[in-house]
Amino acid sequence: MPNATQSPLSLESYPRTISFGDQEVTFRPMNRDDREAILGFARALPENDLLFLRTDITQSEVIDVWIRDIEAGNTITLVAEMEGEIVGYCSLHHSESLWTRHLGEILLLVGDDHRARGLGGHLARQILELAKGQSLHKLVAQMMSTQRNAQNLFHHLGFIPEAMLHDWVIDRNGRTHNLIMMSREVDLDEEFFSEESDVISSPLVVAD
């Protein structure tokens, strides 16, 4: 990742290919041509993963809204591609709402077969770098209180808990869960957060 003496990442820096063990992963911005690949990725998720999804990305109309947000400039999404298959993504979403226009939300999901390898952490760190060029002051991540591994990952990325909202979310089975909100400053000194490997074993949140 870029250090303090290098320019922040920009979308013009992509695609980027990085070796993970004996496999190569290509990171690049998501575009309209990825519609079917993202649907395939979502529909291959285990049933338990689907409980954590904030919106149902197995539905084509949800993907269409996501793509429109990307094309409108409200969302940046990086996909991780391995042997031509999307295996994960990370998004940065910002709203034009007057009160929250300085905030960006990070949304991250890695496929079941590719977790605990550092892929999620690598995607998130690239999005953190891209956020520096988006006139944002603070980044936010939201997750269920039961998603301990997600909380650990964002802690390593410099996020701190801001609030816990009781019974704030409801899963696909109708069960309610507490919502954890974590945040960090966009320009947080990278020296103070961990470069430890990805610890995700359950998905985080997904694009609206």
The pLDDT of residue 131: 93
Q: Which residues, 6 or more positions from 142, have their beta carbon under 8 angstroms from its beta carbon?
A: 54, 105, 179, 180, 181, 182, 205
| pLDDT in the model for residue 34 | 97
pLDDT the model gives residue 204? 44
Kindly report the pTM of this predicted structure: 0.84
- Give the pLDDT score at 197: 40
Average pLDDT across each block of 10 residues of the chain; the chain has 208 residues. List them in order: 56 91 92 96 88 87 96 95 94 85 92 83 92 91 89 93 93 89 86 42 38
The pLDDT assigned to 6 comes to 54
The domains found in the chain, sorted by start residue, are 11-192 (3.40.630.30)
20 CB-near residues (< 8 Å, 6+ apart)? 117, 118, 119
Residues in CB range of 84: below 8 A, 6 or more apart: none
